[in-house]
Amino acid sequence: ENERAGSRLMWLLVPGNATAWCPLNCSCLRETGLVQCHFLTLQGIPREIPHWVQNLSITGRNLTTLQASSFINNGTQLSNLTTLLLTNNNVQTIRPLAFHQLPHLVTLDLSFNDLHSIAKDAFTGVAHLQVLRLNQAFREAEGTRLVDDQWLKNAKSLKALEVSGNGLQAFPAGLLKLDRLQVLNIRNNSIKLLDEATVSWLKHRNVWVYLSPNPLACDCKSREMIFWIRNTTQVLDSQSLRCFSPESLNGTHVLSVAPDALKCLNENLETASYVFFGIVLALIGLIFLMVLYLNRRGIKRWLNNFREACRDQMEGYHYRYEQDTDPRRSNATALPPDTP
């Protein structure tokens, strides 16, 4: 209500010129198609944004939820809008079809929000969306899950994606489905490794990547990644990339790590444990042989005893067999006896 009254006030201040219309606390530049609404104390998205707007910036509000009706403006679509900045608005939830009233949207910046839920079809209806910025956009510890979520599949036209500062624990595998991606910013996350599949996809698609800083592991598992970083122009900030682990390489520039230094602690441990196991086996064998040697008399005696015992047994068996084959005792003459 307040806002509406304010709007009317603005209207009165610029009488007789409908093109000078501008919502309260916003600035409007018709020539450049720019409308900026900053740090308003009121909730929600201003209604009655001039229909000619191409570049809309709304920041510092408490929007909380974006939904299908959020951008219905005075009953119509904002069909000229190509760039929408919604940074710093405490956006938490994006509901289905939130942007479908903006059919020509190309660039969307949702950085510095508190997202924890994005509907699967949040980006349905914005077929031209090419640039999406989600820097520090997610609620703590939700980034890894959200960047990999279903909604990404409906943002197929993306050419540039920024997801820096979101605490991502790993490279989001879902990104590999973005067929048109050209630029990816994954700076300032907790990514240790780009695995072979990721590296080969980035190579194949020729995607430009911003990667630094991330706590990269420079070990045997990251050989593929590090050889690629050293040998490509695609990683635009490769100069400032540093190894985080292992401790011996902490702080070393990735571009100057020697290939021989890319080892795994486990790899060494494994070799060491095999050697140790071998030595133990050899010792046991040696002791066994010594025991045999020292006891050779006893063993000989034992073998003799055993042989005699066997012979006794065989004789007993032979005797019983003869008894069994007696035709008066059994018909099954061909079968050997099973139990005594």
Ligand X SMILES: *[C@@H]1O[C@H](CO)[C@@H](O)[C@H](O)[C@H]1NC(C)=O
Shortest Å, Cβ 171 to ligand X: 16
Rounded Cα gap, residues 202 and 210, in angstroms: 12
Closer residue to ligand X, CB minimum distance, 107 or 200: 200
Shortest Å, Cβ 79 to ligand X: 13
Closer residue to ligand X, CB minimum distance, 82 or 166: 166
| Structure-token pair, residue 186 | 């994954």
Shortest Å, Cβ 17 to ligand X: 12
Shortest Å, Cβ 231 to ligand X: 4
Rounded Cα gap, residues 177 and 156, in angstroms: 8
Rounded Cα gap, residues 241 and 233, in angstroms: 13
Closer residue to ligand X, CB minimum distance, 227 or 306: 227
| Residues 66 and 91: beta-carbon distance below 8 Å | yes
Closer residue to ligand X, CB minimum distance, 227 or 319: 227
Closer residue to ligand X, CB minimum distance, 136 or 154: 136
In the chain, what's the furthest Cα-to-Cα distance?
Answer: 134
- Residues in contact with ligand X by CB under 6 A are 21, 48, 51, 62, 64, 74-75, 136, 165, 167, 188, 227, 231
C-alpha angle with apex 332: 330 to 336, nearest 5 degrees?
100
Collapse the DSSP code of 244 into the 3-class scheme (helix H, G, I; strand E, B; otherwise coil) and give the result.
strand
DSSP letter at 253 equals: B
Shortest Å, Cβ 43 to ligand X: 6
How far is C-alpha 322 from the chain's CA centre?
78
| Residues 9 and 30: beta-carbon distance below 8 Å | no
Rounded Cα gap, residues 29 and 19, in angstroms: 10
Residues facing residue 38 across a β-bridge: 59
Shortest Å, Cβ 270 to ligand X: 26
Q: Which residue is nearest to ligand X (CB)?
A: 165
Closer residue to ligand X, CB minimum distance, 54 or 124: 54
Closer residue to ligand X, CB minimum distance, 144 or 182: 144
| Residues 122 and 95: beta-carbon distance below 8 Å | yes
Shortest Å, Cβ 51 to ligand X: 5
| Residues 127 and 157: beta-carbon distance below 8 Å | yes
